[in-house]
Structure 1
Amino acid sequence: MPDAPSPSSPPRSGTLNVLRVYLGPLKWQVVLLAALLLTGTGLNLLLPQLLRRFVDNAKLGGGADVGLLARLAGLYILLAVGVQLLTAGATYVGARVGWTATNRLRADLMRHLLSLDMREHKERTPGEMIERIDGDVTALSNFFSQFAVRVFGAALLLTGAVVMFYLTDWRVGVGITLFVLVTLYAMNRVRQKGVEPTRQERESSARLFGYIEERLSGLDDVRSLGAGEYHLRGFLRVQREFFRRSTYSWRRRSLVWQLSMVLFAVGYVGILGAAVGLYAAGAISLGTAFLLYQYMNMVEEPIDQLTQQLQDLQKAGASLGRVGELLALRSGLPEGTRDLPEGPLDLRFEHVGFSYAPEDPSVRGVLHDVSFCLPAGQTVGLLGRTGSGKTTLTRLVSRLYDPSTGSVKLGGVDTRDVRLASLRTRVAVVTQDVQLFQASVRDNLSFFDESVTDAEVEAALTEVGLGGWLSRLEEGVRTPLPTGSLSAGQAQLLAFARVLLRDPAVIILDEPSSRLDPATEAQLTQAMTRLLAGRTAIVIAHRLDTVARADRILVLGDGRVLEDGPRAQLARDPRSHYAELLRAGRLEEEGVLA
Structure 2
Amino acid sequence: MTAAAPPADGLPVASQREVRSYARRTMLDHRGPLSLSLLLHALACVAALVTPQLLGRIVENAAHGAVAVTPVAFAICAAVILQAVLTRFARSASLRLGETVLADLREEFVRRVLALPTHTVERAGTGELVTRTTRDVDVLAFTVQRAVPDTLVAGTTVVLTIGAVCLTDPLLVLPCLVAVPVLWLSTRWYLRRARAGYLHANASYAQINDHLSETVAGARTVEALRLQRRRQQRTDTDIAASYAAERHTLNLRSIYLPIADTGYILPVAATLVIGGLMYIEGMVGLAAVTAATLYVQMVIGPVDTLLFWMDELQVGGASLARVLGVRNAAGPASPGAGPASATGTAPEEGVELRGVHFSYRDGKDNLRGIDLHVPPGERLAVVGPSGAGKSTLGRLIAGIDDPGRGTITLGGVPLTELSASELRRDVILVTQEYHVFRGSLADNLLIARPDASASDLERALRAVDAWEWVSALGLDHEVGSGAAELSPARAQQLALARLVLRDPPVVVFDEATALLDPHTARTLERSLTGLLNGTVISIAHRLHTAHDADRVVVMEDGLIVQSGTHDDLVERGGTYAELWKSWHG
TM-score normalised by the shorter chain: which range applies?
0.7 to 0.9
Query: Structure 1 residue 124: deviation in Å?
Result: 1.9
Structure 2 equivalent of residue 40 of structure 1: 44
Offset at residue 529 of structure 1 (A) = 4.5
Instruction: Check whether the contact 1:197–1:249 (CA below 8 A) recurs between aligned residues.
Output: yes
Contact 1:574 1:580 in 2 (8 A): no
Q: Superposition pairs for residues 188-199 of structure 1, below 5 Å?
A: 188-192=187-191, 193-199=193-199
The one-character-per-residue Cα deviations of 1:22-80 (angstroms, maximum 9, x if unpaired) are: 2322222112212211111111111222333455667899x855xx61x5434433432
Alpha-carbon distance, 1:275 to partner: 5.2
- In structure 2, the partner of 1:496 is 496
2:32 corresponds to which residue? 28
Map of 1:55-204 to 2, 5 A cutoff? Answer: 64-65=67-68, 69=70, 71-146=71-146, 148-176=148-176, 178-192=177-191, 193-204=193-204
State the match for 2:542 in structure 1.
Answer: 543
Structure 1 residues 517 and 120: alpha-carbon distance in aligned structure 2, compared to 1, 3 A threshold: closer
C-alpha contact 2:529 2:536 (8 A) present in aligned 1: no
Residue 389 of structure 1 is matched in structure 2 by 389
Once the 2 structures are TM-superposed, how far is the Cα of residue 230 of structure 1 from its aligned partner? 1.2
| TM-fit CA distance, 1:449 | 7.4
Q: CA deviation at 1:397?
A: 1.4
Corresponding position of 1:405: 405
How many residues end up aligned between the 2 structures?
561
Q: Conserved in 2, the CA contact under 8 Å of 1:52 and 1:288?
A: yes
What letter is aligned with 1:524? L
CA distance in 2, matches of 1:204, 1:153: 33
- Residues in 2 aligned to 1:59 and 1:348: alpha-carbon distance in whole angstroms: 95
Give, in angstroms, the shift of residue 195 of structure 1: 3.0
Q: Do the aligned partners of 2:368 and 2:558 also contact (CA within 8 Å) in 1?
A: yes
| Alpha-carbon separation, structure 1, partners of 2:89 and 2:297 | 23
Corresponding position of 1:585 = 583
Residue 229 of structure 1, CA deviation: 1.9
Query: How far does the alpha carbon of each residue in 1:229-268 deviate from its partner, in whole angstroms, 9 at most, with x for none?
Result: 2111110111011111102212202333211222234333
Equivalent in the alignment of 2:355: 352
Instruction: Assess if the C-alpha contact under 8 Å between 1:378 and 1:536 holds in 2.
Output: yes
1:561 is aligned to 560
User: Equivalent residue of 1:469, what SS?
Assistant: helix
Q: 2-side partners of 1:323 and 1:357: how far apart?
A: 27
Q: How has the CA–CA distance of structure 1 residues 464 and 277 changed in structure 2, closer, same or farther, with 3 Å as cutoff?
A: same
TM-score normalised to structure 1 length: 0.83
Alpha-carbon distance between aligned partners in 1 of 2:525 and 2:451, rounded to the nearest angstrom? 30
- 2:354–2:406: 8 Å Cα contact kept in structure 1? yes
Q: Which residue number in structure 2 is paired with residue 575 of structure 1?
A: 573
**What is the deviation of 1:497?**
1.2
Aligned pairs for 1:253-268 (under 5 A) are 253-268=253-268
- Do the aligned residues in 1 keep the contact of 2:178 with 2:266 (CA within 8 Å)? no
Change (3 A) 1:282 1:387: same
Residue 236 (structure 1) aligns with: 236
Q: Within 2, Cα distance between the matches of 1:379 and 1:35?
A: 68
Contact persistence 2:381–2:546 (CA under 8 A) = yes
Partner residue in 2 for 1:295? 295
Measure, in 1, the Cα distance between the counterparts of 2:404 and 2:18: 37
TM-score by length of 2: 0.84
CA RMSD of aligned residues (A): 3.5
Which shows bigger deviation, 520-529 or 91-100?
520-529
- Tell me by how many angstroms 1:576 deviates: 4.9
Superposition deviation, residue 160 in structure 1: 2.3
Instruction: For 2:344 and 2:18, locate their aligned partners in 1 and report how far apart those are by CA, in whole Å.
Output: 46
Q: Please list the CA deviations of residues 472-506 of structure 1 after superposition, one character each: whole Å capped at 9, or x if unmatched.
A: 335x2462323892223222221211112222122
| Alpha carbons 2:42, 2:160 under 8 Å: kept | no
Deviation digits for residues 130-173 of structure 1, max 9, x if unmatched? 32344344444433334553333323222222233233333322
**1:383 deviation in Å?**
1.3
Match of 1:343 in 2: 345
Matched, 1:246 2:246: yes
1:19 corresponding residue in structure 2: 23
Q: Distance in 1 between matches of 2:408 and 2:368?
A: 13
